[in-house]
Structure 1
């Protein structure tokens, strides 16, 4: 049986600042059509606001430690917040603007999986 394993201790974080860290595992796992990333946000930390422009990229967020807020900005400018508790997941469409936010007092870890 052929398989690959990977862990956050095997790859350097591509974001290292006061807000948190981000470990991409896609390369270590040899994934062609799937991106898998572990994100950690410090209390009060915010990720970069982004959206996937064009294409049909699907993204799923799975909170694995703590409570994660995902702020989604609608085209009208209003913001809707999705709150995920530990082991809850949400799927967002590619054109949805989103920003990961930790409004709690403890670190948050989330696994992000998306098609590429």
Structure 2
């Protein structure tokens, strides 16, 4: 049984993407608080190259094997606190949760008018 904040992974064929996009493009209403961190909240230990591939981002010499949280921490340049933001590839990345000094969750916000990942086009 799925519960709030569960993560769901769907594997399908490319020709199924339009139907999957319609099915998952409407996020449940979580109120204004969740929107502070962005349109999506990602795990900090997600591999940067996987995130870049999903969102169509360019790594341009950045180590894609590192975790997203580690990359964001490097971009911040000091000790991260919840709410810290960096701009990268035209998107706003926000520290959404910490575990000690490790970034556990990262929010990503798309500019107004940009649809988000190609999966949802």
Q: More strand per residue: 1 or 2? A: 1
Q: More helix per residue: 1 or 2? A: 2
Does the alignment reach a TM-score above 0.5?
A: no
TM-score (norm 2): 0.33
TM-score (norm 1): 0.34
